[in-house]
Amino acid sequence: MQKFDVIIVGFGWSAIPLIRELERTGVEFTCISGEGDTVWDALSAAGRLDFDLVSDYQTSFFSFDLVSQYKRDYHPTADEFYAMRQRLQREYGRKVVRDRVIRVDNFADHSLVSTASGNTLKATHVVLATGFQRPISADLEEIDYGVSNRTFVFDTMGDSTNLMISKLAPNNNKIIVRTNGFTPIDKVLAIGPPEQRKIVALSRLEFHNFRYFSHRDFASVSFGPPGGEGDPPFLLADQYPDTVRGNGPQAAGGTGGAGVAGPANGTVITKYWPIDLYSKEFGGNLEDAIARGYLLNDIAMWLWTGQVIVVPKSTPIDLEQKTVNWRGFRRRFDEYIPGGDEHPRLPEITLGGKNPFRYAYRDSFMGVLNPQLNNVYFLGYTRPMIGGSPNISEMQALFIHKMIVQPDFKQRIHGNLKARIAAYNAFYYGNSPPGTRDHVVYYGFYNDELARLMGIDHRPEHIQSLSDMIFYYAFPNDAFKYRIKGEYAVEGMGDLYRRINREYGGFILPMAFFLTGIAEGPSRRSQWQRQTYRHFINDMRYKEPFRSFLERYVQTYRRVTGMAVEGAADPEWDAMAECAAGTRRRLARRVPAPATGKFDEAMQNEIHRLASLLGQGRQALVYTLMQMDAASQKNFEVMLNPPEYDLPFLHP
């Protein structure tokens, strides 16, 4: 029987950073994997890599690849992503054995790995990296986009559903989304005072470490005010109450049983190109953009125009008669897309060759370590709400590598594994029941936690200057942030960091945004946030002037895709859309249209102040602090020693 230190099961995307570390440190391993059966392979074979990524380049690739390939941040097309991925797979696939693992029997100090070809191998460590099983993948491959004037019911919502909607809506299909909630968020944002306004990817504004200052403030500055505080919640929640989950932003203030994390794990966020920024970026040459795969997938715009209607999951549906009953309408539909939850594609796993092991995300620490299993690790089954999954799998790979090569480290983590899991779950899920989205996390929270466990983190007590402070708080917690120095440093990362820092104006904007938001205080914050030139993500009224652009887009889309669409009157649908819009209009009256001025002015002042302080050493910083008003001084001091830094599940 062949024996290995490490067997990796599955050579998709997630295994690559682990293979790199094992090779770097001379650990004996093999990787057993199926071939050509990932969702990307299938979409490529079906000629359907005709869209762009929801995540930006910086979060979609590994540190060691960014170092040599990075030119600028953008949203790669699926075609480009697949090609880049194939390149890395060729580079790291030398040792891959093509076979299928059908069973893993786990014992106290080893595992037996059985394959479809009849082999059984022995390993001290087994890493499972088999990717997800996603029922919606089949629809992505097979759905017929060449139809018009039909009614589709999607019993699911997420980025894949939104991709399908973006290809159906321009052909005058009508779409009903039956869901318990999702949070639509612009995937790019224009932020900053008018003359410095810059379009940036959403994940570049994920100033996650501010939660150590205050989880509650972090949630309310980045998501808007939590519900139930007397302030009217932001427009989106008002207009589409069913689109916001119980443990989403509304629960960020600690309500809803979702733990104290604020915000909690598990929020469904659908990221899309907002029409105003899309028109700016691609309006000059729409044909080319559409042909390359940059599609207008602004779900909020489709909701605004009434092409898409969201109905609660409890809405009665008759799959035989093909009807949905909603607010007195009995709408016939043509196509039904059930969706379904994603699950790890795990082979059978047994405890000691006898008892079956059953997987549940909450039973594992950080989604990686399950106390029932010895030396078995899960890699790639934790997903980010925003940003690319490689960002997370790279950190998981380092964590797993460290446990494999440093028994003391593993012992430290394992010593109180059950207590860690209990503390993590209390923090992120509170008393909410286990759900199918438990594995969806804030990548910046998650990455910093893994970095802290491994001791490769940056620490607030090491802040020596304002630039350090901005780096700590406002530079996003991408995996590469933790590979500039320390045990897992990657050569050239310091240069990459400096380039990215320059590209994003030193990340002063998110820093200023947070500080200004905090300065407003909880009671005035919601009003302040409404003064943004279009309420960031939540106000759809600013979309109205873009109706003519939408019409131009629709005509161009049909031309590029060769669709001839006959207009068809549909009074029943119009009445349904009117009914949906009625609720929205009634609620919108409570919230005034965005004013201008104060938000921009406050941001500008903060940016100027930060810029004038940059470049000063700690002593000068302390001196400047002393000149500040009491509230600002206090905020800066708090950031040097943030009160909510301690997280019980990270204790030694």
Ligand X SMILES: Cc1cc2nc3c(=O)[nH]c(=O)nc-3n(C[C@H](O)[C@H](O)[C@H](O)COP(=O)(O)OP(=O)(O)OC[C@H]3O[C@@H](n4cnc5c(N)ncnc54)[C@H](O)[C@@H]3O)c2cc1C
- CA angle (26 as vertex; 35, 3 as ends), nearest 5: 65
Q: Does 60 bind ligand X (CB under 6 A)?
A: yes
Spell out, one character per residue from 144 to 183, where the chain touches ligand X: x when CB under 6 A holds, - when not.
----------------x--x--------------------
Closer residue to ligand X (CB): 37 or 287: 37
Distance CA 379, CA 345 (A): 12
Contact letters (x/-) for ligand X, 382-401, by CB under 6 A? ------xxx-----------
Report the residue number, 101 or 400, with the smaller CB distance to ligand X. Answer: 101
595-598 contacts at long range (C-beta below 8 A, 24 or more positions apart): 595/530, 595/531, 596/531, 596/533, 597/531, 598/528, 598/531
* 176 residue type, one letter: I
Alpha carbon distance 81, 12 (integer Å): 13
Take residue 309 and report the two structure tokens written for it.
């209607």
Give the residue, chosen from 6, 7, 8, 9, that forms a contact with ligand X under the rule CB under 6 A. Answer: 9
The one segment of 123-131, 308-316, 421-429, 587-595 that binds ligand X by CB under 6 A: 123-131
Q: Which is nearer to ligand X, 174 or 345 (CB)?
A: 345
Q: Which of the stretches 28-36, 273-281, 328-336, 495-503 binds ligand X when contact is defined by CB under 6 A? A: 28-36
Of 185 and 603, nearer to ligand X (C-beta) is 185
Q: Cα–Cα distance between 281 and 289 in angstroms, integer?
A: 9
Applying CB under 6 A, among 6, 7, 19, 55 the residue interacting with ligand X is 55
For residues 347 to 376, the per-residue mask of contacts with ligand X, x marking binding by CB under 6 A and - elsewhere, is x-----------------------------
Interface with ligand X includes 100 (CB under 6 A)? yes
Binding segment (CB under 6 A) for ligand X, from list 126-134, 433-441, 467-475, 561-569: 126-134
> Residue 52 or 242: which CB sits closer to ligand X?
52
Pick one of 3, 25, 28, 37: the residue that binds ligand X (CB under 6 A). Answer: 37
> How many residues line the site for ligand X (CB under 6 A)?
33
The DSSP code sequence of 312-363 is: ETTS-EETTTTEEEETTEEEE-SEEE-----EE-PPEEEETTTEEP---GGG
Are the CB atoms for 347 and 104 separated by under 8 Å?
yes
Does 4 bind ligand X (CB under 6 A)? Our answer is: no
Range in contact with ligand X (rule: CB under 6 A) among 38-46, 165-173, 331-339, 602-610: 38-46
The span from the first CA to the last CA of the chain, in angstroms, equals: 38
Q: Per rule CB under 6 A, is residue 345 in the interface with ligand X?
A: yes
Nearest residue to 513 via CA among 126, 220, 148 = 220
Could you say whether residue 220 binds ligand X (CB under 6 A)? no
- Minimum CB distance to ligand X smaller for 114 or for 196: 114
- Sequence-ordered list of residues with C-beta below 8 angstroms from that of 280, at least 6 positions apart, any chain: 199
Query: By CB neighbour count within 10 A (0-12 exposed, 13-18 middle, 19+ buried), where does 626 fall?
Result: exposed
Q: How far is the CB of 116 from ligand X (least distance, A)?
A: 8
Among 6, 19, 101, 603, contact with ligand X (rule: CB under 6 A): 101
CA 471 to chain centre: 21
- SS3 letters for 187-240? CEEEECCHHHCEEEEHHHHCCHHHHHCCHHHHHHHHHCCCCCCCCCCCHHHHHC
Q: At what angle do helices 618-627 and 630-640 cross, to 10 degrees?
A: 150
Site string for ligand X, 470-509 (x = CB under 6 A): ----------------------------------------
Question: Using the rule CB under 6 A, is 54 a contact of ligand X?
Answer: yes
6, 7, 8, 12: residue in contact with ligand X (rule CB under 6 A): 12
According to the binding rule CB under 6 A, does residue 222 interact with ligand X? no
Nearer to ligand X, 50 or 238 (CB): 50
What are the two backbone dihedrals, phi and then psi, of residue 319, each rounded to the nearest 5 degrees? -75, -25
Q: What is the largest CA-CA distance in the chain?
A: 74
Residue 154 bridge partners (DSSP)? 177, 337
Residue ranges binding ligand X (CB under 6 A): 9-14, 32-35, 37-40, 53-55, 60, 100-101, 129-131, 137, 140, 160, 163, 345, 347, 380, 388-390
